[in-house]
Structure 1
């Protein structure tokens, strides 16, 4: 089975070694066909507390690290501007 990866934006870094990453996907409406944006929030492990709000990051699925945390930050694609 392939390892899942997602690219998203860090929306919260208030927890220790954990960030919340919002991932947007575009899907057509089942009946009307209009493209809608769905946002899903994942809790991801950030070992060194390096990520800040607004950063674009790549996350990878991993073993369960806590009750809700099943993703790990692989790399930071871009840092938030103006921080």
Structure 2
């Protein structure tokens, strides 16, 4: 099964080798037919501490690195 890849913005880089990425998805409401924005935060592994707050990054599913980290940064 292929690994999911998401694109988002780094919202925090305070922790070592970890970035928090906010991923936004847009969908049409089934009844109101209005476009709705929903966002979710993911914690991703950044081994070189290369990414800073505000960077646009792509993240990919991976084996768990810690209790909360299940994603790793692919590229900017």
* TM-score bin, normalised by smaller chain: over 0.9
Task: Compute the displacement of 1:48 (Å).
Answer: 0.7
Gaps of 5+ in 1: 77-83
- Superposed CA RMSD in Å reads 0.7
TM-score (norm: length of structure 2): 0.95
Q: Which residue of 1 aligns with 2:68?
A: 68
Q: Write the distance in 2 (CA, Å) between the matches of 1:31 and 1:40.
A: 23
Q: Which residue of 2 aligns with 1:24?
A: 24
TM-score (norm: length of structure 1): 0.88
Gaps of 5+ in 2: none
Q: Write the distance in 1 (CA, Å) between the matches of 2:24 and 2:67.
A: 23
